[in-house]
Amino acid sequence: MSQERRNRSTEAFFGRRKGKPLRDQQAARLENLMPTLAVDLSTPAPADIKSLFRHPVTAVRLEIGFGGGEHLVHRATENPETGFIGVEPFVNSMAKLLASVEEAGLSNIRTHDDDATQLLDWLPAGCIDQIDLLYPDPWPKRKHWKRRFVSQVNLERFNRVLKPGGLFCFASDIDTYIDWTLIHCRDHGGFDWTARNASDWTTPFAGWPGTRYEAKARREGRGSAYLTFKRIEKKIQR
């Protein structure tokens, strides 16, 4: 991969990686705690991805772009028998997560601080029970829509790493991105939208703690959609 030219099919992160200067404690956690949680992509992935966690887990969930980590920490605390892999390239957000992990003493979280596509390509097939993509960058300008994380290339990655019947959960307050995701999942053919009536996609996911992005959307008068797709065998186009 290092010799390959990075492009839209191999990389999906666009934007800055660092904001405000880190405080001493934050920098110390990045130096000392981060290496103990980071998934090492330089080594082959284990046959059983659950072995990444210090204590036995019965399932593995992946959250892409966890922001400040509030949702990830809530889920990890609520489900100690589940292992969570959180992906976030933004250094300040990773620092916030590490503080929460340390404070809560969580042992069921692993991290990746670079592009999610690198992790997806490293993971073995059929190893993930659920993928969460919550309030991703909507890239609202039409000329930037190709930068949206939901794409046929990345849906193929999702379909590969999810277990049969595994879930892809998507939340957004941007109508064009909601429609975009529904259309892309339909066209991919490997995902079944589980909604059977309108309330299924306007009602937050079970145990949903809310996020700061959701709160901001509500303050600005926007509602949110919560889409759940089940991984199925990809339909062959005729």
Quote the CA–CA distance of 179 and 203 in Å, as a whole number: 17
Taking the mean position of all CA atoms in its chain, how far away is CA 43?
22
DSSP-derived 3-state class of residue 193 = strand
- The residues carrying an active-site annotation are 137
In one-letter notation, the amino acid at residue 182 is: L
* Residue among 103, 50, 111 nearest 81 (CA): 50
DSSP-derived 3-state class of residue 219 = helix
Quote the CA–CA distance of 227 and 232 in Å, as a whole number: 16
Task: Name the token pair of 8.
Answer: 């839209």
DSSP for 14-63 reads -S-S--SPPPHHHHHHHHHTHHHHB--TTSPPPSSGGGGSSS--SEEEEE
In one-letter notation, the amino acid at residue 13 is: F
Residue 236 gets which letter from DSSP? P
DSSP-derived 3-state class of residue 188 = helix
Quote the CA–CA distance of 67 and 184 in Å, as a whole number: 24
